[in-house]
Structures are given as structure tokens and as C-alpha cells.
Amino acid sequence: MQDSPAGPASCLFPPGPCVILHRHVRPSLRPVQGQSRRSPIGAPLANAGVDIILARVDGQIHAVDNRCPHAGGFIQDGPLLEGKYLTCPLHQYHFDPKTGAPINAACRKARVYKCRVEGSDVEIAI
């Protein structure tokens, strides 16, 4: 299946159609355990893509929208708090990359994208 920002394809993640915007993240750009890395797909600042944070927790890679749902700040990449929580440096809010749930704040969940590792690819369903 080809990457296609143009329209829905048969989704690799049930149920139903979705768009796979990114299929390959070089191994050198994947986060190690307890870390996160920013991984923009397309050109997010030009409204032609998505800005994503990839985080590795408990050996699994998780994909989270890079914008904090509270005030729109950018979630910090690098070490995860306690090796498992993303941080928005604007107000020091923390989010679980597995679920997007806020840990120490009363705000909405961060947007989480389904993803999986297939061979040398990280597939992210948008």
C-alpha cells in the first residue's frame, strides 16, 4: 500500500477507512525506551500534514499529536517524565502517550493515533 495524503485507503487498523500519511521512520529517528521524538508528517505549518510525537513506553511505540489540548503548546520531545509521560512545557501538563489521558491536569486528552511497527516501517493511521 502506498502512502497517500490524498484520500482514504483500506485501513490497516479496523474499523473502516483512514489515511496512512507516513509509513517509514528511519530506525535512527525512532525513540528509544523512555524517550520521545518529534516526527512531522508532510508540512504541518502549511496545513499540509500532521505534527506527531513518537514515544516508546514499555517497548511499544505510540503516536500522539504534538499540540497540547490545553493551550496548543508543543509537547516536548526527549526524555519522558518517569520514563512514561509526555510533557507540555507551557504549563507542565503531562500526558500518557498510550491513551492521551492527562496525568496532572484537568483538560482534554491529547489526540492519539494508532500505529504499529511492520518490519522497518512505523505505520501511523491518521
**Tens digits of per-residue pLDDT, 80-114?**
999 999 999 988 999 999 999 999 888 999 999 99
Q: What pLDDT is stored for residue 121 in this prediction?
A: 76
pTM of the predicted model as reported, rounded to 2 decimal places: 0.78
pLDDT of residue 15: 53
Instruction: Give the Å distances, CA to CA, from 110 to 10, 69, 79, 87, 120.
Output: 25, 6, 18, 11, 27
Query: Amino acid letter at 91?
Result: H
**Under CATH, which number does the domain 20-125 receive?**
2.102.10.10
Of 101, 84, 7, 97, residue with least CA distance to 53:
97
Question: Whose CA is closest to 65, among 95, 24, 26, 25?
Answer: 95
Report the mean per-residue pLDDT for the chain. 80
DSSP 8-state code for residue 49: E
CA dist., res. 36 & res. 87, Å (int): 10
